[in-house]
C-alpha cells in the first residue's frame, strides 16, 4: 500500500480534511480520491479542469527532466533557497505550485529537510512524472486557483516559472508567510531566441503588479551564463513553449551548433502575507 502524507491537504469539493484509508484519501463525507500506483493523488475536480490534458506535452516534460537533472538551473534553486531562509519564523511547510516534473520541488525538500513539501500541478502527466522522484513529497494534481490545502498552513508558496494566484496563495499562507516567485527576464535565453526566430520582437518583461492580497517586499533581477552543447540545446528548446512555434530549419540550425553561451535571466520576487 502507498503511504501518502496528507497533512494540510483538504477535499477539493467540500474543503474538509482528507485521511488515508487503504489506497485512497477520504473526507468525512466520503468524497474519495485514489492514490495512484506512482504515489500521487488527483485532486482536480472535472469542473476545475479547463482542457483535456492541460500543461506541457510528454515530450516537453521528458526534455525538462533531462535538462534540469543536469543541474544547469541550480543557481536558481540557490536563489530561492536563500529567499526561503529569510522568511521570519522559519520554513516547515512549502507548497510548490506548477511543480512540473518536480526538479525544484525535490531540491527544496533536500535543502529544507525537516519541511513538509507539497508539489501541485494542473497536469496529471507532470505530477505522475514528479512522483517518480521521491515519495517524501505529497504530489497532487490541482489548480493554482483552488489549492486543496488548508487555510494558513503554508510558510511558503513557490511559483517557479509558473503562475501566481495572489488571493488563493494568501489564503493558504500563514501570516508572515511568503510567496517566492521566479519569472523569466527580458534577456532570458536571448541568444537562443535570436537563432530560432527570424524576426525577434524583444518584449520587455517584468513580474505582474500585485493586486493587494499580498505585499511585494522585494524583486531582484538576476542572471548567470551557461554553455550548452547541441544535445543540451535540443532539450532546452524542447522543454519550452518555443518548441511549439519554431520552424524546422531553425530547430535544425540550433541543434547543429557545437556549443552556445546563453544568458539565464530571471526575477526573484518575494510577496508576503502581512502579519
Ligand X SMILES: C[S@@+](CC[C@H](N)C(=O)[O-])C[C@H]1O[C@@H](n2cnc3c(N)ncnc32)[C@H](O)[C@@H]1O
Q: Between 30 and 182, whose beta carbon lies closer to ligand X?
A: 182
Is 144 a binder of ligand X (CB under 6 A)? Answer: yes
Q: Between 26 and 124, whose beta carbon lies closer to ligand X?
A: 124
Closest CB 61 distance from ligand X, rounded Å? 8
CA 176 from centre of chain: 22
Dig out the grid coordinates for 241 from the structure: 513553449
Closest CB 247 distance from ligand X, rounded Å? 22
Is 184 a binder of ligand X (CB under 6 A)? Answer: no
Outline where 1-73 has alpha helix (H): 58-69
Q: Between 64 and 234, whose beta carbon lies closer to ligand X?
A: 64
Q: How far apart are CA 189 and CA 196, in angstroms?
A: 11
Outline where 139-229 has alpha helix (H): 166-172, 190-196
Q: In the set 138, 162, 235, 238, which binds ligand X (CB under 6 A)? A: 162
Is 141 a binder of ligand X (CB under 6 A)? Answer: no
Is 100 a binder of ligand X (CB under 6 A)? Answer: yes
Is 103 a binder of ligand X (CB under 6 A)? Answer: yes
**Contact residues for 162 (Cβ-Cβ < 8 A; gap 6+):** 97, 98, 99, 100, 144
Query: Cβ distance 99 to 122 under 8 Å?
Result: no
Is 183 a binder of ligand X (CB under 6 A)? Answer: no
Q: How far apart are CA 217 and CA 255, in angstroms?
A: 41
Phi-psi region of 15 (alpha: psi -120 to 50; beta: other; left: phi over 0): left
Closest alpha carbon to 149 in 107, 105, 95, 203: 95
Dig out the grid coordinates for 56 from the structure: 506541457
Q: Which stretch binds ligand X (CB under 6 A): 158-166, 171-179, 198-206, 218-226?
A: 158-166
Among positions 26-55, residues that touch ligand X (CB under 6 A) are 55
Closest CB 44 distance from ligand X, rounded Å? 9
Q: How far apart are CA 148 and CA 141, in angstroms?
A: 9
Query: Cβ distance 149 to 10 under 8 Å?
Result: yes
Is 75 a binder of ligand X (CB under 6 A)? Answer: no
Is 99 a binder of ligand X (CB under 6 A)? Answer: yes
Q: Between 222 and 257, whose beta carbon lies closer to ligand X?
A: 222
Q: How far apart are CA 130 and CA 140, in angstroms?
A: 10
Q: Between 188 and 234, whose beta carbon lies closer to ligand X?
A: 188
Q: In the set 93, 138, 143, 243, which binds ligand X (CB under 6 A)? A: 143
Is 163 a binder of ligand X (CB under 6 A)? Answer: yes
Is 121 a binder of ligand X (CB under 6 A)? Answer: yes
Closest CB 112 distance from ligand X, rounded Å? 17
Binding site for ligand X (CB under 6 A): 55-56, 64, 97-100, 103-104, 121-123, 126, 143-144, 160-163
Amino acid at each position: 500500500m502507498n503511504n501518502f502524507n496528507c497533512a494540510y491537504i483538504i477535499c477539493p469539493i467540500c474543503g474538509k480534511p482528507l485521511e488515508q484509508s487503504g489506497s485512497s484519501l477520504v473526507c468525512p463525507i466520503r468524497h474519495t480520491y485514489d492514490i495512484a500506483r506512482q504515489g500521487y493523488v488527483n485532486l482536480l475536480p472535472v469542473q476545475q479542469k479547463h482542457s483535456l490534458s492541460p500543461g506541457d506535452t510528454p515530450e516537453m516534460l521528458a526534455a525538462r527532466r533531462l535538462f534540469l537533472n543536469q543541474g544547469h538551473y541550480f543557481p536558481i534553486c540557490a536563489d530561492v533557497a536563500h529567499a526561503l531562509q529569510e522568511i521570519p519564523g522559519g520554513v516547515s511547510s512549502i507548497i510548490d505550485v506548477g511543480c512540473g516534473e518536480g526538479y525544484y520541488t525535490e531540491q527544496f525538500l533536500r535543502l529544507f529537510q525537516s519541511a513538509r513539501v507539497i508539489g501541485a500541478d494542473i497536469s496529471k502527466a507532470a505530477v505522475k512524472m514528479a512522483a517518480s522522484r521521491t515519495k517524501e513529497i505529497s504530489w497532487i494534481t490541482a489548480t493554482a486557483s483552488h489549492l486543496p490545502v488548508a487555510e494558513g498552513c503554508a510558510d511558503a508558496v513557490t511559483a517557479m516559472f509558473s503562475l501566481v494566484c495572489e488571493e488563493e496563495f494568501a489564503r493558504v499562507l500563514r501570516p508572515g508567510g511568503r510567496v517566492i516567485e521566479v519569472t523569466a527576464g527580458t534577456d532570458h535565453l536571448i541568444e537562443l531566441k535570436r537563432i530560432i526566430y527570424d524576426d525577434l520582437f524583444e518584449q520587455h518583461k517584468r513580474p505582474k503588479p500585485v493586486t493587494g492580497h499580498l505585499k511585494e517586499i522585494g524583486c531582484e533581477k538576476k542572471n548567470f551564463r551557461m554553455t550548452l552543447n547541441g544535445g543540451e540545446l535540443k532539450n532546452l528548446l524542447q522543454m519550452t513553449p518555443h518548441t511549439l512555434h519554431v520552424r524546422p530549419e531553425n530547430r535544425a540550425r540550433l541543434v547543429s551548433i557545437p556549443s552556445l553561451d546563453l544568458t539565464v535571466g530571471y526575477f526573484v520576487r518575494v510577496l508576503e502575507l502581512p502579519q
